[in-house]
């Protein structure tokens, strides 16, 4: 006689409230794919201080990846004193309005205020050097007078505007053409011993965002920036900051590939600046290329892209939204230091 209870021989799978089995025989899960790229080790001791610690007697910005001072990255606040910028054109065209916005950005944690007098949006009208100088110099003069502790950069590709801005108190020059429009910009920065930010772009002002052809976007951007850095250093510039030019002549896929491979640019031994704030790629990703998210609804996407770049070694981030970016970077910085 079989004394083994039937209940021990037969297992009935329990069912969900809809009557389908909760436990069923499944094939083993496939192994997780290996990541194609390793996570970069961001040790500040691996980066030379003479190239990564910006400034001198008046200020210092430690831009070594993983450095305690960077705490994720330094935030560069955008201050457009233009009537036609894509995001905030016309809001800060008077000196007092510009100063009020600068005060707000500094109080929220911006390390650098980037003053620009000419829009780089598609279709923007070119601005003469005289008009651009008249826009930015009074603002920089008043800004450095009221906030002497502020680090100020001037966003221009015109050497005459750069020289006038440096004379008014600016600390850094930010050239979106990467010396292509006028190589004399390197001499202007060198004469004032100012750090020089050079962005990768192609074409001339007014045509910088037109899509270009790349076989290997990261390698080509790195090689172009290497040549620009060499040109700047030969002119006497002691500190160069490189910007891969997110949104300038790259497809959405190429922009995101650049973000994921930022650490490959660190082989040039220069701090990396990224500007992804409110860019069209963010809008297209949050919406669609034909129906992108509005400019004022791109904050969270911008924060995600910024975090990706900083996690791979960028240490200066250019943004319109200071407070949320600073908060995100505080948490990200603590996280990265646990690697």
State pLDDT tens for residues 8-24.
444 444 444 444 444 44
Q: What mean pLDDT is predicted for residues 70-92? A: 75
Residue 17 burial (CB count, 10 A): 6
Check whether 154 has a pLDDT greater than 80.
yes
Q: How far apart are CA 266 and CA 276, in angstroms?
A: 18
Q: How confident is the model at residue 35 (pLDDT cuts 50, 70, 90)?
A: very low
N-terminal to C-terminal alpha carbon distance within the chain: 65
Nearest to 336 by CA among 317, 308, 305: 308
What's the token pair of residue 306?
């910024």
Q: What mean pLDDT is predicted for residues 102-129? A: 90
Q: What is the DSSP letter of 126?
A: P
pLDDT of residue 203: 80
Give the active site residues: 279, 318
pLDDT of residue 18: 40
pLDDT digits over 224-233, tens only?
Answer: 999 999 999 9
Q: What mean pLDDT is predicted for residues 68-85? A: 83
Domains and CATH numbers, the chain: 64-336 (3.20.20.20)
pTM (predicted TM-score): 0.85
Q: How far apart are CA 230 and CA 195, in angstroms?
A: 14
pLDDT digits over 184-210, tens only?
Answer: 999 999 999 999 999 999 988 877 888
Name the percent of the chain in helix, strand, coil, to the closest 5: 40, 15, 50
Q: How far apart are CA 262 and CA 195, in angstroms?
A: 20
Express as a percent the part of the chain with pLDDT over 90: 72
């Amino acid at each position: 006689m079989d004394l083994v209870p039937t209940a021990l021989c037969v297992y009935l799978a329990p069912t969900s409230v809809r009557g389908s089995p909760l436990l069923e025989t499944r094939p083993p899960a496939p192994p997780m794919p290996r990541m194609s790229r390793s996570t970069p080790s961001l040790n500040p001791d691996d980066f030379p201080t003479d190239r990564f610690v910006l400034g001198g007697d008046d200020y210092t910005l430690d831009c070594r990846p993983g450095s305690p001072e960077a705490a994720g990255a330094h935030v560069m606040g955008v201050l457009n004193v233009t009537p036609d910028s894509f995001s905030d054109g016309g809001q800060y065209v008077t000196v007092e309005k510009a100063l009020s916005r600068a005060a707000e950005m500094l109080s929220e944690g911006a390390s650098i205020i980037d003053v620009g007098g000419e829009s780089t949006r598609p279709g923007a009208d070119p601005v003469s050097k005289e008009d651009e100088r008249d826009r930015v110099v009074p603002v920089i003069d008043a800004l450095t007078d009221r906030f002497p502790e502020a680090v100020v950069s001037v966003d221009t590709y015109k050497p005459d505007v750069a020289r006038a801005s440096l004379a008014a108190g600016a600390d850094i020059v930010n050239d979106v053409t990467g010396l292509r429009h006028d190589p004399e910009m390197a001499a202007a920065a060198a004469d004032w011993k100012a750090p020089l930010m050079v962005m990768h772009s192609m074409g001339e002002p007014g045509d910088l965002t037109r899509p270009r052809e790349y076989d290997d976007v990261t390698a080509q951007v790195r090689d172009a920036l290497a040549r620009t850095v060499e040109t700047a250093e030969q002119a006497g510039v002691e500190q160069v900051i490189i910007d891969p030019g997110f949104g300038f002549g790259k497809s959405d896929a190429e922009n995101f590939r650049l973000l994921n491979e930022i650490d490959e640019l660190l082989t040039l031994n220069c701090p990396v600046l990224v500007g992804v704030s409110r860019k069209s790629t963010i809008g297209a990703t949050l919406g669609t290329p034909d129906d992108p998210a509005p400019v004022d609804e791109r904050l969270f996407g911008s924060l995600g892209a910024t975090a990706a770049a900083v996690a791979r070694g960028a240490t200066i981030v250019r943004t319109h939204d200071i407070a949320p970016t600073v908060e995100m970077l505080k948490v990200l910085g603590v996280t990265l230091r646990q690697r």
